[in-house]
Amino acid sequence: MIIPYDMHAHTYYSPCGRRLTAAGKPAATPALYRDEALRLGIGAICLTDHFVEDPTNPAAPQFYKGSGPAIIADLRRELATLGEADGLRFLVGCETETFSIEHVGVSPATAAQLDIVLVPTSHYHLTGVPQPEGDAPADVARHMLTMLASVVAKPWLDVLAHPLAEREALIGDLRAIYEAMDRRWLSDILGQAACAQMAVEINAASLNDEGIPHYREVLADLLPLAQSLGCKFTLGSDAHSVDMLAWPLQIEGWVRGLGLDESDFLTPDTLLARRHRV
């Protein structure tokens, strides 16, 4: 396995993690993830439910109104009940949100209490998330870079979640958007991420998403560029149900084909070291 960690998985504490198994049972429970991870040989899972520290903030999109500190506390309690499993570590973090170029849903103080903070910048399907000025590829390209530039300036965030990913029915052909990006600006952003030790995510769900048919093609250019500028990477399933935990294993060959290997990836220990916990 190129990297035996899953750095992005949602449980049923996320509003979009409430799917059921064929038997009608919750499909994104910590217990199911534990059993599947042990079966697959995954040594650590970062549970990264959708989270903002203050859901009452008027800038918080409606999607996050139920995603406050209680879900983190409940998840931690549930993990404590589950107990330790040999060969598997759970880390507890979150996928937060960008409210504006100034504000994200997690402050430095809250980030210090979490094991990992993923920051998405292109959840354009969510009402209340900053949007491009227009539909033209150049508008979307400029907005994507503006939002990425805003988060790489916030060093308490750990990972750029699924960069440039959004359904193409909503944003248009991703190849045209990528083509329209100012290359020097993109390189500056990735260089700044490298300096801040902020990782670039390789997101299995986005790479498998039929709604983003050109994501692989675009990432096949973006990821080697990020590597050449010194960026580290994380690999995440972005699972919303336990069956998705195997998805990163299916893209390993593709990842290796881009010239990335084990040394290019963050480990759970690197994350904790960033927080002075190891």
Answer positive or negative: Cα dihedral of 57, 132, 14, 115: negative
**For residues 115-174, which are near Zn ion according to CB under 5 A?**
120
What SS3 class is residue 92? strand
Do 94 and 117 touch, CB atoms closer than 8 A?
yes
User: In the complex with Zn ion, which residue's Cβ is closer, 96 or 229?
Assistant: 96
- In whole angstroms, the minimum distance from the beta carbon of 242 to Zn ion comes to 15
Least distance between Zn ion and beta carbon 173 (Å): 21
Distance (Å) of CA 255 to CA 30, 221, 244 = 27, 12, 18
Angle formed by the axes of helices 183-195 and 137-152, nearest 10° = 20
Strand arrangement of the beta sheet that strand 89-95 belongs to: 5-9, 44-50, 89-95, 117-119, 159-160, 199-203, 233-236
Burial per residue of 132-163, b for 16 or more beta-carbon CB atoms within 10 angstroms, e otherwise? beeeebbbbbbbbbebbbbbbebbbbbbbbbb
Q: Give min distance, CB of 15 to Zn ion, in A.
A: 11
Tell me the residue type at 42: I
Smallest distance from the beta carbon of 46 to Zn ion, in angstroms? 11
The residue count for binding Zn ion (CB under 5 A) is 3
Least distance (Å) from Zn ion to the CB of residue 86? 28
Nearer to Zn ion by Cβ, of 14 and 229: the residue is 14
Of 105 and 120, the one with the shorter C-beta distance to Zn ion is 120
Q: Contact with Zn ion (CB under 5 A): which of 95, 97, 209, 264?
A: 95
Rounded distance between C-alpha atoms, residue 178 and residue 171, angstroms: 12
Per-residue mark of binding to Zn ion, 204-243 (x: CB under 5 A): ----------------------------------x-----
Least CB distance from residue 276 to Zn ion, whole Å? 26
**Two structure tokens written together for 118:** 């993923």
Which among 95-103, 187-195, 209-217, 249-257 is the span making contact with Zn ion, rule CB under 5 A?
95-103
Residues 9-48 that bind Zn ion (CB under 5 A): none
Nearer to Zn ion, 18 or 136 (CB): 18
Residue length of the chain: 278
Shortest distance in whole angstroms from residue 223 CB to Zn ion: 18
Nearer to Zn ion, 160 or 229 (CB): 160
Half-sphere exposure of 147 (CA within 13 A, CB side): 26
Give me the residues that bind Zn ion (CB under 5 A), please: 95, 120, 238
